[in-house]
Amino acid sequence: MLSAGWPLLRLMTTGVPTADSAAIRLRLRQHARGALLGLALGDALGATVEFMTPREIAATHGCHAQIRGGGWLRLAPGAVTDDTGMALALADAWLLNAHAPAAEDYARAFDAWMRSKPVDIGHTVRRALLRFRQTGQACVPPSDEAGNGATMRCAPLALVLLGAPPDTLATATLAQARVTHHNALTDAATLTVVNMVQAGLHAGGTPAGIRAVMAQAHLLAQRFPLFRFRTRPVMNPSAYIVDSLRVVLQAIDLHDSFEGALIEAVNRGGDADTTGAITGAIMGALLGEAALPERWLKALAPAVRQRCGEAADALVARSPAWRRA
């Protein structure tokens, strides 16, 4: 089990503007919006090919690069799944509370989302939230089940706690994760994704920012060799967090562009909405809203686009980094 003292690399801030407060806040806002909109775009793009193999994707779509809906959930074009739904629920846990949320606040927010009858919900998440309803306990027991459901939704924490002490960030990250998932590999992956998103937010698409993002990935691989990603490409990943995150890290390692990384991730098939969502959050934070393909943004459901943008604005405006700008 990881403690709240999971080591964080000191973020490189070379390239952060030294202009006035308004300019710094504008940059933070653009990259925060990139993170949440990027998550939704990856979710919507990947949902079409979720549970397909790379060979099936190629036979059906060639290179899958358009947000078109469909898939096993028969989604409308631009619709999203539980990845975006739970991320927005996590955002609500902060935005609907004047205080910093406790584990019970996260559990209530996720439970409210489940009560809204979402189009999709993972078995681990459903089981944990039913347990919360019955017992009031907001932390599931440690488990050998290392799923990706806690990691797919974690990006809002990176925004609202940008500039917070590392222990504060780690404690909040693990509290939300363990409402549904309690496993050392899931803990490590979720902390790493939060740190990668924050590295992107701090330094943007500068060389220093790219190095800071990838430094977090290498730190994870050093501590947990199962996550080594400079190996043979992972195809048809399951919901096992090691498979999912190795796809994400390989896609980001191979591509400098938001579009290239997302297309790489989702065309690996398997749990493609989740690998797409995590890749989109990291690359969107790194490159900012302006780097998101306009054709994909136009294809995203308008209500989802609006909610993600508004949530990103509100979350980063509550962050310590924003207040210090």
Residue 314 is predicted with a pLDDT of: 98
Q: What is the Cα–Cα distance from 82 to 43, expressed in whole angstroms?
A: 9
3-state secondary structure of 75: strand
Instruction: Look up residue 170 and give its two tokens.
Output: 């780690």
- Sign of the dihedral defined by the CA atoms of residues 99, 180, 10, 310, in that order: negative
Q: What is the Cα–Cα distance from 277 to 87, expressed in whole angstroms?
A: 10
Residue 280: is it exposed, middle or buried by C-beta count within 10 angstroms (0-12/13-18/19+)?
A: buried
Q: Name the nearest CA neighbour of 46 among 257, 239, 294.
A: 239
Instruction: Look up residue 314 and give its two tokens.
Output: 């509100």
Q: Kindly give the parts of the chain with pLDDT less than 70.
A: 1-19
What does the mean pLDDT of the chain come to?
Answer: 94
CB contact at 8 A, 178 and 103: yes
- Sign of the dihedral defined by the CA atoms of residues 83, 84, 89, 90, in that order: positive
**pTM higher than 0.85, yes or no?**
yes
Residue 19 is predicted with a pLDDT of: 55
Residue 143 is predicted with a pLDDT of: 96
CB contact at 8 A, 70 and 115: no
The one-letter amino acid at 309: G
Kindly state the DSSP code that residue 255 receives in the 8-state scheme: -
